[in-house]
Structure 1
Amino acid sequence: MPLKYTTLSIENVDLQDRTYLFSYPKRGELLKNSIKSVGLLQPPILFLEKNYPKLKIICGEGRIIACKDLGIYEIPAFIGENYSSKELFLLSLESNLFRTLNIVEKAEVVGKALNFFSIEEVINLLSKLNLNPSYYWIEYLSAIYSLDEPFKTLIVEEKLNPKVAVGLVDLSSKEREDFLEILKKLNLTFSEQKEVLEKLLDYKKRKDLPSLLPEKLKEILKEEDFNKRKTEFFKILKELYYSFYFHKWIKISPLVEKFRKKNIYLNFPPYFEKKEMEIQFKNVSFEDFQEKLEFIEKNKEEIKKIWEKL
């Protein structure tokens, strides 16, 4: 069935329905300057669904929004009737492949395609998104599709690691709110996001906590100074997560500091994973060497105390 070309009022278009749309974010703002300069060169494609009061957008949502914002209410358009949902979805997809889709848009494609196609059919569509056809991408992109809007926006703005975002899917809405607050307050790198989420989830499980964010961490997020807020957050997180380590460190740190003042450094495996200790020092002369050895010998009982506490 061919498309019918006509001129219509934007009032007759449903601007809320996004059944066949996956642009993210909506592209109206990006197109305003072009339409303002040369007009609407490429008419959108709309669908007239039986017993539905308004026309549904198949492609060209951004163009329609831009026209409305510019005060243009009469626009040219192509209208289709008697198309199946699959045909309309494929038409929308093909009309957008001229540009590179971001990861959230690819997630929107997969999430919405699953409403019309079997999983096997959706896998076959992945090549159109420049992805290898596999179940992995279906699961990965479906997870992103299911996220709340603020997280999708952060992904598009490259402020949230998509792989970390997928880990949020199984959290409660309150836990996702807590993690969103962390992202807003700490400006974490992608690796920091991964570290924080993994530690919080593990700590919650170990302590059987009712929520993702312990009270101490909630409180430090209220700190006004950004640098102090971030530094203290990670300090408290490590104290909570590695409580065994910090308990030991509190006991031995005064002794370690005593040696450090003599430029003798006592080093340990990360978080005392092994009962090991390395004594390290540099010398500027043989006399300096002798002096340090004498200090170590004189304080060997202190070293023994440290060793016993490991």
Structure 2
Amino acid sequence: MNKIFKEVHISKIDLEDKLFDFAYPGVNENIISSVKKVGIFMPVILYKKKDNLIVVDGRKRVFAGMKIGIQKFESIIYNSEDITEYNIFQKKLYDTLTEKNRLNIVEISIVLNKLVNDFSLKKADVIREYFPLFNISGYYSDVYFHLCKLDENIKDYIVENDLHPNIIKQFFRFEPSELTLIYSLMKSLKMKGSNLRIILTYLEEIIHRDNITLEKFLSISGIKDVQENKKLTHSQKLEKIKQIVKENRYPVLYKKEREIKGKLNSIKVPGYIRLSIPEFLEGNAINFNFSVDRKEKLKEAIEAINYLYHNESFGKILEML
């Protein structure tokens, strides 16, 4: 395979053509600072197609160099007569995986879309050949193929917090204007994992059930006030908002749960015995949690359980389940 080593002026490089680019996010201040400090050590890889020179690898270095006034770049040029666009894209992909070990989920989405839209591979072939390469499940194929179309802020948040495809899938159930509000909410509260999944689920169900806009619900429910309350910590805000959406999604069940919790708290048992109920009364049972380190405590715990057995108030709580 013939390749040319030469210095190329920035004016000769087509920076609009992003055929081979799948890096995400793009240029940031760290890259610019690094280039400014030590310069550009690695050559830029270019692909010559007719009269165009397209960046295969090194786009970030080129843009960072431009920011600090570099006009010429040491380059390696591949010719379209010697290697196809698809083959050089494959080469870059495998080289990147060798160097980085893994791509982030947005980069994977960009690659998959390029394979289908730019290189005309069938989606089924892409799933069969490339999903194992990225060690991803075909179950989430819709997520991976549509993810790169999300708003930049949402994609940034996904990458920064390494969100699971199950959560990302929920974003597609909201309108773009709603996602703007969701981004503001989850960014301010640093939501991720199960907390984010639960809140997204409840919000979606509430606005569809009540035929209400997300913006209006956030306002009338008090969520917006909690979000903007500077006296509360992030964790306090998160817990309050979880309570609000839970209460609005399951008002009857939430009221019953609070009533049972209140009654349980009024029953006196030794401090090392904790009575609790699972969220949403799942399992219709009361949990006993205690630990003992000597026989006296064990005896006391047994007596406490016996007390509960004969306690009329506790019996009524069991009937409420």
User: What range describes the TM-score normalised by the shorter chain of this pair?
Assistant: 0.7 to 0.9
- The SS at the match of 1:45 is strand
Identity %: 21
Distance apart, 1:233 and its partner CA: 1.0
The answer to whether the 8 A contact 1:110-1:138 is kept is no
- Counterparts of 1:59-208 in structure 2, within 5 Å, are 59-77=57-75, 78=77, 80-81=79-80, 85-100=85-100, 101-103=102-104, 104-115=106-117, 116=119, 117-123=121-127, 125-126=129-130, 129-131=133-135, 135-136=138-139, 138-158=141-161, 160-208=163-211
Partner SS for 2:11: helix
Runs of at least 5 residues in structure 1 that lack an aligned partner in the other structure = none
Moved over 6 A (4+): 261-266, 278-297
Deviation at 1:22, TM superposition (A): 0.4
1:173 CA displacement: 0.5
Paired residues, number = 304
Asked whether 1:235 is paired with 2:235, we answer: no
1:196 deviates by 1.9
Between the aligned partners of 2:66 and 2:289, the Cα distance in structure 1 is: 71
Shift of 1:153: 1.8
TM-score (norm 2): 0.73
Rounded Cα–Cα distance in structure 1 between residues aligned with 2:95 and 2:301: 76
Query: Contact 1:6–1:79 at 8 Å: present in 2 too?
Result: no
Cα RMSD of the aligned pairs, angstroms, is 4.1
The CA deviation string for residues 171-219 of structure 1, in whole angstroms up to 9 with x for no partner, is 2102222221222121124222222222323334444444388332233
Give the Cα–Cα distance (whole angstroms) in 1 for the partners of residues 95 and 284 of structure 2.
63
Alignment match, 1:45: 46
TM-score, with structure 1 as normaliser: 0.75
Closer, same or farther: CA 203–11 of 1 in aligned 2, 3 Å: same
Residue type matched to 1:272 in 2?
Answer: L
Deviation of the 1:254 alpha carbon: 5.3
Q: Which residue of 1 aligns with 2:26?
A: 26
Q: Secondary structure at the match of 1:214?
A: helix
1:221 corresponds to: 227
Cα distance between partner residues in 2 of 1:222 and 1:296:
47
Question: Structure 2: where are the runs of 5+ without partners?
Answer: none
Q: Residues 30-84 of structure 1: CA distance to partner in whole angstroms, max 9, x if unpaired?
A: 486368536444232143456xxx6432222122123223322012332634565
| Superposition deviation, residue 291 in structure 1 | 10
Counterpart-to-counterpart distance in 1, 2:5 and 2:72: 13
Task: Tell me the amino acid that sits aligned with residue 182 of structure 1.
Answer: L
Q: 1: distance between equivalents of 2:280 and 2:152? A: 38
2:177 maps to a residue whose letter is K
In structure 2, relative to structure 1, the CA distance for the partners of 1:4 and 1:206 (3 Å cut) is same
Instruction: Check 1:280–1:59 CA distance in 2 against 1; reply closer, same or farther (3 A cut).
Output: closer
1:268 touches 1:278 (CA, 8 Å); kept in 2? yes
Preserved CA contact (<8 Å) 2:46 2:53: no
- Amino acid of the structure 1 residue aligned with 2:71: Y
Q: 1:288 to 1:274 in 2, by over 3 A?
A: closer
